[in-house]
Structure 1
């Protein structure tokens, strides 16, 4: 699709995530992609970023960058409240998008993004890098083939720690700028991977609390989930946990599969435990050595560039990118209404479709009313 030339890439947002995660991935893919421009509303930060990473053009205006640089692909690395409008602007300019999570602040905004895509592209993919490690791909392939039996039970834990100073950044911990708390901004990685393995959910029963951090949003949430397959899961999202861990467990009829890591995994972080009736040679085949790809922005970027070159929709765009946000919406609605929620009810007539807190009293306080 790129006609033999390198794919022209631009960066929107020159903060930490662009420096720490996106630029190293792009440097590793420099044979296929070249960064031609970067923008940030802070002119000094944009200039410093471009000088540090040898990017030829710095901008403070996205539309101007799109017009001048004409990128094929834009990495959106700005705060969440800017994602929807910037992604739509890039798509309308003909550029593909790789947008940091969370994709936007509501299902309504997400559907505006997909409406701006073309039938054959450009497409907007969301950064859910845990799907793209070789460990996750192996498990998804085994599960899809039925090699592990039926899925029965799962656990999905994001037990992280973010102190009070973390929320000193003005846009964090607010519904109108960050969109949600750890359910949306932190646990979404593990929940997306859980959904990629187990598929569609049908019912969710949840609770959320604002226990310690001085925020408008929740700082912890829990949920019980039923999937279309009949499988059931428990979910925990926390930024209050001094011993940090990301944990996923899937119990199938023939095996338990576990993943323990923190912010990224390799093949060695996965454990397969066969059921007593499974022959040893069958279990050995599940973990036969292969080419290891750690979960990372590079793993996802490489897959995205493959899709771009073939003109194919990336896995975390369209319905694939909506899946985790829809789950988060259902979790919030159940937590804030104190009742079970089904996927079918998350329609444009629902207030939670438009705002993740659904304008429920007590979950959109002013900063002064947040936890002291």
Structure 2
């Protein structure tokens, strides 16, 4: 429950994504308020606080936690700083909402899960694409079998990031970003796919560093099987001039598709029934766009109830598992099962298996 009449929210990291978190809090009216911000760059923290009317600004997390005493901490730092910030917030009794990618390895993810209390505080992760009304409706239809069984899925994140994008020191490095487009970009669509289809079973993948001067991949392709028996193709790229995020699901009685870029509403989705099938009643009853606001509302509902929020625990781990296995398969040249991702596996501890990936350049043989 909140310490006052509204949940007290602190934002850690005052970069571009912090604005989305601030707007989400503000959009929820009297349910929450941003009371503090922290950033290693004191001028940036102060500037953010002044611009947005945030009462307190700090340059370190321990002081923020001690003086601002937030109920919820929004973590908006680069991925390499997630672990320490989340651990400090949980130890202080604050719930945590952390930007993607969650952390740099499954080992770190499980460490943070171990720091949660049995009844909270919990740490949840920002996967806002699963929270729009269209995805929610489709998820209910899959669970109820309304459209039949899922058979085939396509999950493509075809984005474009130029060379200047990777001039930021922490980007494109295993030790600070955790991976390339599979980890930092495609993870959103993969999480949406997994939230709809459930646990995956096995993956076979390829990846390459074809054009960008990075330590990680800049493109990957994979084939995935699910516990349900469904099969999917997954492509993640930062080399695609016509950008799109595209998911397609072929079920017994319908094909369901969504094409968007960084967010959707109902107009981005289509339901195509099999010939002879009555599709009346399939359309979503409301039109709520995917957004930070939609997910934060669901997160605060969980806080109200004292329950684990969505996109946390096992539910939040699925996408990181898939990314880790994608990298392991692409680097080793072998299929990987979800059950392989456990302590003792080098890809459980580091997503490149501890330095096992050497980027290949144009004209070189792919690994």
Query: TM-score scaled to structure 1, two decimals?
Result: 0.95
> In structure 2, how many angstroms separate the alpha carbons of the residues matched to 1:131 and 1:161?
22
Partner residue of 2:224?
A: 225
Cα displacement (A) at 1:133: 0.5
Residue 115 (str. 1) matches residue 114 (str. 2): yes
Out of 291, 316, 321, the residue aligned to residue 326 of structure 1 is 321
Cα displacement (A) at 1:3: 6.8
What are the residue-to-residue correspondences of 1:91-102 with 2, within 5 Å?
91-102=90-101
Cα displacement (A) at 1:325: 0.3
Q: Summarize deviations over 1:314-354 as a string: whole Å, max 9, x none.
A: 11111111110011111110000001100111111100000
Partner residue of 1:12?
A: 12
Cα displacement (A) at 1:88: 1.0
Partner residue of 1:370?
A: none
Cα displacement (A) at 1:24: 1.0
What SS does structure 2 have at the residue aligned with 1:148? Answer: coil
> In structure 2, how many angstroms separate the alpha carbons of the residues matched to 1:362 and 1:146?
42
Q: Confirm or deny: 8 A CA contact 2:209 2:359 kept in the other structure.
A: no
Out of 293, 298, 301, the residue aligned to residue 296 of structure 2 is 301
What are the residue-to-residue correspondences of 1:69-148 with 2, within 5 Å?
69-148=68-147
Cα displacement (A) at 1:209: 0.5
Superposition misfits of 4+ residues, deviation over 6 angstroms: none
Q: Confirm or deny: 8 A CA contact 2:207 2:330 kept in the other structure.
A: yes
Residue 33 (str. 1) matches residue 15 (str. 2): no
Q: Confirm or deny: 8 A CA contact 2:45 2:57 kept in the other structure.
A: yes
Cα displacement (A) at 1:4: 6.6
Cα displacement (A) at 1:30: 3.1
Residue 285 (str. 1) matches residue 281 (str. 2): yes
> In structure 1, how many angstroms separate the alpha carbons of the residues matched to 2:3 and 2:26?
21
Q: Confirm or deny: 8 A CA contact 2:208 2:359 kept in the other structure.
A: no
Query: TM-score scaled to structure 2, two decimals?
Result: 0.96
What are the residue-to-residue correspondences of 1:1-372 with 2, within 5 Å?
1-2=1-2, 5-19=5-19, 21-279=20-278, 283-287=279-283, 290-363=285-358
> In structure 2, how many angstroms separate the alpha carbons of the residues matched to 1:154 and 1:192?
13
Q: Confirm or deny: 8 A CA contact 1:175 1:364 kept in the other structure.
A: no
> In structure 2, how many angstroms separate the alpha carbons of the residues matched to 1:362 and 1:183?
15
Q: Confirm or deny: 8 A CA contact 1:204 1:331 kept in the other structure.
A: yes
Q: CA RMSD in A?
A: 1.3
Q: Confirm or deny: 8 A CA contact 2:2 2:8 kept in the other structure.
A: no
> In structure 1, how many angstroms separate the alpha carbons of the residues matched to 2:110 and 2:178?
16
Cα displacement (A) at 1:269: 0.6
Q: Summarize deviations over 1:250-280 as a string: whole Å, max 9, x none.
A: 000010000000000001110001011313x
> In structure 2, how many angstroms separate the alpha carbons of the residues matched to 1:197 and 1:190?
11
Q: Confirm or deny: 8 A CA contact 2:157 2:236 kept in the other structure.
A: yes
Note the residue ranges of structure 2 that are not aligned, 5 or more in a row.
361-367
